[in-house]
Amino acid sequence: MLAAAANTRKADYEHYVRATSWGRWILVAVPLCIAAQLAPLPLRFAHPIWASAHEGIGGLSLGPITADIGLTVNALMLALAAIALLGVTIVVVRDRGRAELVLFVLAGVTAVSALTLDLHRLAPAVAGAAATSELATTLAGFGLILNLAVMQLAAERAETRHSLPRSIVLGLLGLTGALISAAAVFGFSDANNAVAASFGVVLILLILVIRRLDLSPLAASALSVAALIGAAIVLTFLLEKSSGPILLRLVPEMGAETKAALERMLADTRWFGAGAGTFSAVGRIYQSDAGSVLTTPSAAISVFAGMGWVGLVTMIAVSLLALVRLFFGALQRGRDSFFPASAAACVLFALVQSFAGPGLLHPAAILCLSVILGLGLSQSVSQSGSR
């Protein structure tokens, strides 16, 4: 990465700066916040486990915020990998041909992941273990949106007098991938994951309608506000269907003992959490059965337990900031709007789905989302300023 950065051309650097101008500070702040949890602090600021260790065995009266240094180091490395991959993607897909290639690969990989979930549900002996269904559901949601973008790309190519047979083939492949992914999300996952995917599909269609009809800013704003109100009504309905802490209202049903343990854990979580990636370690304190393992029911709960209210609010704010940047970038990109539009839809799906399941905690999903976000950001800015 350092060697590549040292040999970056001026045009690539300028393109990266323009693509990340909306929030370049985030790329530095996220790993710094995780690294800060590893710093030795006075025990009154550290996790209580280090105060207990000091009382039991003595030693320095210092301790980190995290309850498990090893797990937080793993989380830091994953965050750095995701940010590095995002930056590389922004530079690589500056060229439209390479952007199309990356889109095709992403659409194909996510569709294959969705197919494994379809096959597992239809014939469990054929493919996959049930433990992979959470990741497959998340990738299927990405696949549905990305394959819709491939279909739009094929339509744009046909309209601009590219090879018609090739455009038809691309459109059929995109349709096949979208149907496979839709079957996995809407047929073989719970309702909340389906709602999250629906939000993404509605967003990409909203951008398509605004651009195709060439709506005025006032009409586009009115349509966007109506869609936002509709999404708020749906989310309010889903949240009011169950009781308890708001972070537990969209997750799948669980046993009473597990829910009670999670409620105690959430109630004890401090503003800065117990350390990024430490849910499994801290969960052992709250599980009632020594032989059982308390697993996180959603990515949002894991973020909250690891980074506290500060981390959760930051995650939501960063997602919304990226969503707005990609949305307006899509409206400005003309025939290439499907790149930032699909990235915005994937970000919206990921944000809602993070409260409904733990699929986004898998490194594969995190790295996939990094590439999608890099693709959308890179193609959301005009190339006219590049040399």
Considering only residues 109 and 129, tell me which one the structure prediction assigns the higher pLDDT: 109
Neighbours of 350 (CB within 10 A): 26
Specify the pLDDT at position 130: 44
SS3 63: strand
Q: Does residue 387 carry a pLDDT above 70?
A: no
Sign, CA dihedral 267-269-271-277, equals negative
Considering only residues 299 and 156, tell me which one the structure prediction assigns the higher pLDDT: 299
Average pLDDT over residues 342-360: 94
Confidence of residue 245 (pLDDT cuts 50, 70, 90): confident
Q: What is the pLDDT of residues 159-177, one digit of tens each?
A: 776 678 888 899 999 999 9
Specify the pLDDT at position 187: 87
Confidence of residue 132 (pLDDT cuts 50, 70, 90): low
Q: Which residues of 277-312 are buried (b: 16+ CB within 10 A; e: fewer)?
A: bbbebbbeebbeeeeeebebbbbbbbbbbbbbeebb
Q: Does residue 128 carry a pLDDT above 60?
A: no
What whole-number distance in Å separates Cα of residue 140 and Cα of residue 142? 5
Q: Does residue 257 carry a pLDDT above 50?
A: yes
**What is the separation of C-alpha 155 from the centre of its chain, rounded to a whole number of angstroms?**
27
What whole-number distance in Å separates Cα of residue 145 and Cα of residue 150? 9
Residues 6+ apart with CB under 8 A from 51: 43, 63
> Which among 371, 384, 382, 374 has a CA at the least distance from the CA of 330?
382
Confidence of residue 383 (pLDDT cuts 50, 70, 90): low
Tokens standing for residue 241: 């269907």
Considering only residues 351 and 2, tell me which one the structure prediction assigns the higher pLDDT: 351
Supply the DSSP symbol for 41.
E
Specify the pLDDT at position 5: 63
Specify the pLDDT at position 72: 93
The interaxial angle of helices 299-332 and 24-36, nearest 10 deg, is 170
Q: What percent of the chain has pLDDT over 70?
A: 93
Specify the pLDDT at position 124: 67
Contact predicate 68/275, CB 8 Å: yes
Contact predicate 102/378, CB 8 Å: no
State residue 62 phi and psi, 5-degree precision: -130, 155
- Tokens 């800060």 locate to 36
Confidence of residue 270 (pLDDT cuts 50, 70, 90): confident
Contact predicate 207/333, CB 8 Å: no
Q: What is the pLDDT of residues 324-336, one digit of tens each?
A: 999 999 988 877 8
DSSP string, 265-311: HHHH--TT-S-TT-HHHHHHHH-SSTTS----S-HHHHHHHHHHHHH
Confidence of residue 131 (pLDDT cuts 50, 70, 90): very low
Average pLDDT over residues 19-47: 85
Distance set, CA 48 to CA 67, 78, 267, 292, 336 (Å): 8, 26, 15, 24, 52
Q: Does residue 244 carry a pLDDT above 80?
A: no
Q: What is the pLDDT of residues 278-301, one digit of tens each?
A: 888 888 888 766 556 788 889 999
- Tokens 């991959």 locate to 85
Specify the pLDDT at position 288: 67
Q: What is the mean pLDDT of the chain?
A: 86
Contact predicate 206/338, CB 8 Å: no
Average pLDDT over residues 9-14: 82
Confidence of residue 134 (pLDDT cuts 50, 70, 90): confident
Q: What are the start-end ranges of the E strands in 8-91?
A: 41-42, 62-63
What whole-number distance in Å separates Cα of residue 186 and Cα of residue 272? 36
Indicate the pTM of the whole model. Answer: 0.90
Residues 6+ apart with CB under 8 A from 227: 202, 203, 206
Specify the pLDDT at position 386: 42
Specify the pLDDT at position 385: 43
Q: Does residue 234 carry a pLDDT above 50?
A: yes
Average pLDDT over residues 370-385: 83
